[in-house]
Structure 1
């Protein structure tokens, strides 16, 4: 079943000179022209030329994802949509096109089921990044100190109770937000997503060709990289399966 999808180029022409520079602006416009004319290989080459100059943006990655999708190269298409989503996580166009590209993959992998408690905790911790949680902890620390000072200098017993209560609650929030920030930081450090680029690749039980075949993966599947040994990567799927794959068969995000 084929999905209907409309690919729209992200063209911020008015601000390109400031972001890319004059040469890259011209390249971007030429790449967009090649894309609109159906010359996807040329568009890909020109978009990649911009990236090689060290200029990165969600627009370039998004357009690259579109061009690769139109060229029926699902692995690179998903890879660049994911790259675009890292820079613009709330962009609905990127999210939608990524979803359509994922529908073209062969591997149907179901994630491990989560308990209600785990879902509840994730819903809370994922609201902010670890940096944002750290700043929230700083805010509560400031509130705690100010409330405690007001408690010390207040003369009325009611005010002293209120300031003491606020100080105590703020202290509890400090502990909670610092714990969440630390947890989210650890998760971010361990997060090493990658996309399978090989049309088909065999995942081994050990990092050598003589080891047992565990399972097979196909182009476009997203994995987590756990370890590296020589030219092998240890990966984990969202269903919990692990194994070793040749490094050149995947591209890390």
Structure 2
């Protein structure tokens, strides 16, 4: 049930050692929150419904002989068309969030992020320490070869203030 899932999520989140700071901008986070409040199909059906309302307003404006109905059709059609465009945007944003493959979770018990795509050789090359369960956003990837061993590295953003390289073996894309 949803209560069990919510309790499990709260328990798992309480065990995460690293607390990331703010991610993204206020407006971007607000738009993502609104887009995630419903599925993309729901936003699409709402856009379709408001498109039908827009067409109804246009028909009322064109074919009515009463001034009040014409004004209502005209201004109501404009408002419905703007709402339709907003719902289309939210449908695309919701689908984009659902299909995103740039998020990963640290699966190693602990890992040291590097300032460059290779194992840090000294403390100057260490960026930060992350623990299991921390969420990161993958920005780029590069394959590094040393001693004929090829290793994949991800350029990750932990929050707005922290960006570094992590060995791909230490994270799992979700």
**Superposed pair shares fold, TM > 0.5:** yes
Question: How many equivalent pairs are there?
Answer: 163
Q: Which residue of 1 aligns with 2:149?
A: none
- Does structure 2 retain, via aligned residues, the 8 Å contact 1:195–1:250? yes
Match of 2:3 among 92, 96, 108: 92
Match of 1:140 among 50, 54, 57: 50
- Does structure 2 retain, via aligned residues, the 8 Å contact 1:191–1:224? no
1:207 aligns with 2:117: yes
1:246 aligns with 2:167: yes
State TM-score, norm by structure 2: 0.76
Q: Which residue of 2 aligns with 1:160?
A: 70
* Residues 180, 105 of structure 1: alpha-carbon distance in 2 compared, 3 angstrom cutoff: closer
Q: CA deviation at 1:158?
A: 2.0
Q: CA deviation at 1:107?
A: 1.9
Q: CA deviation at 1:249?
A: 0.9
Give me the whole-angstrom Cα distance separating, in 2, the residues matched to 1:166 and 1:245.
53
User: Which of structures 1 and 2 has the larger relative contact order (alpha carbons within 8 angstroms, sep 6+)?
Assistant: 2
* Residues 108, 157 of structure 1: alpha-carbon distance in 2 compared, 3 angstrom cutoff: closer
What CA RMSD, in Å, does the superposition of the two structures yield over aligned residues? Answer: 2.7
Gaps of 5+ in 2: 144-151
Q: CA deviation at 1:194?
A: 2.0
Which residues of 2 match residues 22-101 of structure 1 at below 5 A?
A: 91-101=2-12
Q: CA deviation at 1:112?
A: 4.8
- CA shift digits 1:153-198 (9 cap, x unpaired): 2122222222222212111212222233334444444453322111
- CA shift digits 1:94-126 (9 cap, x unpaired): 2211221222232233335965x6665455433
Gaps of 5+ in 1: 1-9, 11-90
Counterpart secondary structure, 1:237: strand
Q: Which residue of 2 aligns with 1:236?
A: 157
More strand by share: 2
Q: Which residue of 2 aligns with 1:177?
A: 87
- Does structure 1 retain, via aligned residues, the 8 Å contact 2:101–2:173? no
Q: Which residue of 2 aligns with 1:106?
A: 17
